[in-house]
Amino acid sequence: MHQMKKKLMGIQHSTNFASLSPLGEACSRKDLTAIHEVLENIGYKDDEGVANELSFQMWTDQMQETLNCKKKGDVAFRQKDFRLAIECYTQFIDAGTMVSPTVYARRSICYLISDMPQEALNDAMQVQVVSPVWHIASYIQSVALIALGMENEAQAALKDGTTLESKRSATTKQK
């Protein structure tokens, strides 16, 4: 009966992605706690290679203040104070001196947990702009799209995330 209801509503059951990673699986279940945990554990290693070049002149008190905003945001994120994390990450982003896909991803999760799916989707899209091959962008987009009631787009984003993640895994294994 439940399956028939889903069919009538036009919602695809997400078992068609048999080879989802733990992150992909968490996104397909909309398990924000698990997604938060993954982002906390991976830290900032995926920011490597993103253009963060700064001239010496830019390294000022303002830069230190900007980095402190990120650090405060990270502490709030770890402590699950999502309102404060959003505030701190927003200050970091608005300063505009550095671009961090991880900060956008973390703020996106904070927005999702705070029931602000449109803001979450905007940040997830920004992650993709900054780091087009980072699978986490697609995964977070899928959760935000589901929260916005956009099931088909969510399924497509989940599939994109799975594809990007498997390409990344294949590349990592070759090294």
CATH 1.20.1250.20 applies to domain 21-46+59-174: no
Q: Is the model's pLDDT at 82 over the cut of 50?
A: yes
Residue whose C-alpha is closest to residue 140's, from 95, 88, 103: 103
User: Of 6, 53, 26, whose CA–CA distance to 109 is shortest?
Assistant: 26
CB–CB of 143/28 below 8 Å? no
Rounded to an integer, the average pLDDT of 72-101 is 93
From the centroid of its chain, how far is CA 156?
Answer: 16
Higher pLDDT, 50 or 80: 80
Question: pTM here?
Answer: 0.74
- Output the average pLDDT for the chain: 82
Q: How far apart are CA 36 and CA 48, in angstroms?
A: 20
Domain boundaries, the chain: 21-46+59-174
What is the secondary structure of 18-76 as a DSSP string? TT--HHHHHHHTT-HHHHHHHHHHHTTGGGTTS-----GGG-SHHHHHHHHHHHHHHHH
State pLDDT tens for residues 88-124.
999 999 987 788 999 999 999 999 999 999 999 999 9
- Rounded CA-CA distance 118/141 in Å is 10
Q: What is the pLDDT of residues 25-44, one digit of tens each?
A: 888 888 888 888 888 888 77
